[in-house]
Amino acid sequence: MISSLGVGAQLLESLTTGGFFAALFLFTVGSFIIDFLCQPRYPKSIPRIGFGDGVINSVRNWIGYVSSYNGWVLEGYEKHSKHGHSYVVPSAPGRAQEIVVPRSQTSWLLEIPDRILSTQDAHSDVLYNSYQFFGMDDEFPINTMHKHLARNLMSLIPGIQDEVEGAIDATFGKDSENWTSLNLWQAWLGMVPRVTNRIIVGAPVCRNPTFLANLVSFADDIIRNGFLLTMFPTMLHPIVGRLAVLPNRWHAYRAYRVCKPVILQRLHDMTRQAAGDPAYDAWEPEEGFVTWLIRQAMAEGLREELDPHTLFLRLLPIEFAAIHTTVITGHSLLLDLLSADPALGYLDIIREETSRVLAEEGGQWTKSGLARLHRTDSAIRESMRLSIFAPALTHRKVVAKEGITNPAEGWRAPYGSFLMLNLAGTHHDADLYEDPQRYDALRFSRLREEFEAREKAGRAEPDEAMRAKRLGMVTTSDEFLPFSHGRHACPGRFFVAHELKMILAYLVQNYDIQPIPERPKNMWMGQTVIPPLSASIQVKRRKATAAAT
């Protein structure tokens, strides 16, 4: 009798190089076909963008996805969304196609309970959480942020301001005699991770170069791997995913080594205080995300969350979101401002407003002072409207076994379907925004100021006050979706608003920056934006501020 080991050896010996690659090719093709057959099937009544249905057309869609996805989304918006109809947009091989719901049905989509349409499941699938974040979901850290960030943000502003000033001085320098060329992307990476981590892990860890470099690399890993995994069929993810995230594990490990002592000490101190140790009667923990996670875990009796490594892993989704999206937003903001017609004087307008309000606040930013920066707020909001970094940021996955029925159009989406709102088309819709492809830094503040003038003259309409309040950058709506919308809108947007306003204020008050003749354009690979990473700016410290320091 020939042993199974002998049979295996004979098969290996008989397998030629050509046979191996042929078998590999057949396995890969088979994986794509199985993926296609397992994807949810959408009703024929929903129009398709791209090449249509069927195996051959699906292959054409997968190939076209890399270069055409953004154009497909905009095409569907013009053809269907603007007329109140949904459409299906192709996705990469590793993702199901998505039903793009029109803006007129935003309320319907966002009001459906999570047990039917899940935000968390959609985000987990989009980011491949089971691989990229080592199987940890973001539910607990996001709930913690909802409960603690807003109530503590006012007390955190002085520390944020201190970190903004230190980060910008270190990144931009203090040379007031010579123009210095800076890579703009690297400049934002020198500011955002440090400032953000002031409220996550606190000082001095937020300034540790090893810690920050590995978090930035981890965020880069997420973007690279996310695109890579979308291009492989789901059957291959257990292999490709585990290999692709090896850099994630290395960068997370190195960052954890730096902040582990802080987490251990905070755990020790808060545990002793909770146990009634009299030595901690007057002690107050430093407010920040590490403290909030521990406090929330204690309040809910979640002992498993009080492991130091688990606490660190809970930080990673917040780190990724805060670093990646804020750096891209800030990078786009300065490119938009610097490429605008210098005769419009946008930087001077922001410099005047921020200097005046900061003086009114005695040189220290407050929540009230930051809220009065209407023109600065408008400049940021307008950049977020125009220079998008994703065609869509509002995704939902059908998790109800029976699927879901759209009452307006009558179609039914089965279990496993993906639905989304179109950000790209909405933000560039001429029916919503006059001259939508032009950067108008004062687009939103102008409307606020017109309302205030009418209000002072007693000519304001009753509903104008509410409309004016909705023009701030943190206010979401079906017309403004960078932070998504509804109950799952980004809970960190209030911190991001304060952070970007303080960064922009300190920059324009303390540095001269030369305008650029034309804004370098973003590139797209599927749903992934590639900013103009090589863009550079010329900066010089303003002499008045250089003398003051």
259 annotated binding-site participant: no
Residues 6 or more apart whose CB falls under 8 angstroms from that of 216 comprise 189, 193, 323
Q: Burial-class residue 454 by CB neighbours within 10 Å (0-12, 13-18, 19+).
A: middle
Per-state percent for the chain, helix, strand, coil, to nearest 5: 60, 10, 30
Alpha carbons 131 and 222: distance in angstroms, whole number: 10
Alpha carbons 448 and 432: distance in angstroms, whole number: 17
Q: Note whether 394 and 481 are within 8 A (CB).
A: yes
Residues 6 or more apart whose CB falls under 8 angstroms from that of 218 comprise 248, 251, 252, 255, 316, 319, 320
**Is 431 strand, coil or helix?**
coil
Cα 254 versus chain centre, distance: 23
Alpha carbons 442 and 448: distance in angstroms, whole number: 10
Tell me the pairing of strands 418-421 and 98-101: parallel
Q: Note whether 163 and 531 are within 8 A (CB).
A: no
Alpha carbons 377 and 400: distance in angstroms, whole number: 40
The answer for 499, left when phi > 0, alpha when psi is -120 to 50, beta otherwise, is alpha
**Is 391 strand, coil or helix?**
coil
> What are the structure tokens assigned to 107, written together?
């309320």
**DSSP letters along 143-185, please?**
HHHHHHHHHHHHHHHHHHHHHHHHHHHHHH---SSS-EEEEHH
Residues 6 or more apart whose CB falls under 8 angstroms from that of 497 comprise 370, 377, 380, 472, 473, 474
Q: How far, in Å, are 161, 509, 540 from residue 545 at the CA level? A: 16, 8, 11
> What are the structure tokens assigned to 494, written together?
């209030």
CA-based radius of gyration for the chain: 26
Q: How far, in Å, are 37, 101, 103, 204, 387 from residue 78 at the CA level? A: 30, 13, 12, 50, 19
Alpha carbons 38 and 29: distance in angstroms, whole number: 14
Alpha carbons 270 and 153: distance in angstroms, whole number: 21
**DSSP letters along 239-263, please?**
HHHHHHTHHHHHHHHHHHHHHHHHH
How many residues does this entry show for the chain?
549
Binding-site residues for heme, in ranges, read 490
Binding-site residues, in ranges, read 490
